[in-house]
Amino acid sequence: MDYLALPFVVRDGYLDRCSLQESITYSVGLLLSTRRGGMPFEPDFGCDIWEKEYSDLYAASKADIRASLRNAINKYEERLYNVSVSFVSVEDNAPHSLGLAVKVSGSYKEAGEEKNFEANYVLG
């Protein structure tokens, strides 16, 4: 099965398509980069990390941040299960970066077969 790729790009009159794994990667990335309340049709969509001040990110409990991100993924990306979130070193030196990167791991099923999922996301 083909899934719509993000961002939406029309080529030759059709929207780009992607694999299930790529679709999950895009979906989790959108979720992690969206402030809660940023989607009018789904006010709870997004993650809490955007409500924190920059200085609060380093004072906050890392376990609480990981749990918050994991809960958002569990709620809005139902194709992914056994989700774990961990912090990884940031390789992005962009001035807009929060200096946080997370690795999201889990499992998903495709054609009845369980597959592993893993992707890194720079927040900011």
**N-terminal to C-terminal alpha carbon distance within the chain:** 32
Q: Is 40 helix (H, G, I), strand (E, B) or coil?
A: coil
Local structure of 78: helix, strand or coil: coil
The full set of domains in the chain, from first to last, is: 3-123 (3.10.450.40)
Q: Which amino acid is at 57?
A: L
pLDDT tens per residue across span 66-98: 888 899 999 999 999 999 999 887 765 555 555
What are the residues whose beta carbons fall under 8 Å from the beta carbon of 34, sequence distance 6 or more? 45, 46, 47, 50
123 DSSP β-pair partners? 100
Chain segment 8-57, per-residue pLDDT in tens: 778 777 788 889 999 999 999 999 888 888 788 888 888 877 666 555 55
For residues 100-115, average pLDDT: 93
**Reduced to 3 states, what is the DSSP secondary structure of residue 8?**
coil
Residue 34: predicted pLDDT: 86
